[in-house]
Amino acid sequence: MNAPVAHAAALPLRLVGVGKEYRLYDSPRARLKALLTGRALPRSHWALQDVSLELARGQCLGVVGHNGAGKSTLLKLICGTLQPSQGRVERSGRVTAILELGAGFHPDFTGRQNLYFGGSLIGISHPQMAELEASVLAFAEIGEAIDRPVKTYSSGMVVRLAFALVTALEPDLLIIDEALAVGDQHFQKKCIERIQSFRDHGCTILFCSHSPYHVRHLCDVALWLDHGRMMEFGSTEAVLGAYEKHSRLLGGERAETAAAPLPYERGPDSALILSCDIADLGDGDPPTLHSPDLVATITVRGKGAERPNIGFMIEQERGVGITSLATHEEDAAPTEVEPGVWRSTLTFPDLPLHSGDYVISVFLFDETGLVTYDLWFQFKVIRIVSPTLMPGLVRLPHRWS
Specify the CATH number for the domain of residue 350. Answer: 2.70.50.60
- The reply to whether 353 falls in a domain is yes
- The reply to whether 26 falls in a domain is no
Q: Which pLDDT score is estimated for 388?
A: 73
- The reply to whether 72 falls in a domain is no
Which structural domain, as residue segments, surrounds residue 314? 272-384
CB proximity list for 348: less than 8 A, separation 6 or greater: 293, 294, 295
Poorest-confidence range of 39-43, 85-89, 396-400? 39-43
- The reply to whether 298 falls in a domain is yes
Report how many domains make up the chain: 1
- The reply to whether 189 falls in a domain is no
Q: Across all residues in the chain, what is the average pLDDT? A: 86
pLDDT at 248 over 50: yes
Q: Which pLDDT score is estimated for 320?
A: 77
- The reply to whether 355 falls in a domain is yes
pLDDT at 134 over 70: yes
Q: Which pLDDT score is estimated for 176?
A: 87
What would you report as the CA-atom Rg of the chain, rounded to the nearest whole angstrom?
25
- The reply to whether 362 falls in a domain is yes
Angle 144-107-100 (CA atoms, 0-180°, nearest 5)?
Answer: 100
Query: By C-alpha distance, which of 278, 337, 338, 272 is closest to 310?
Result: 272
Instruction: Answer whether 361's CB lies under 8 Å from 375's CB.
Output: yes
The whole model's pTM is what? Answer: 0.77
Neighbours of 342 (CB within 10 A): 24
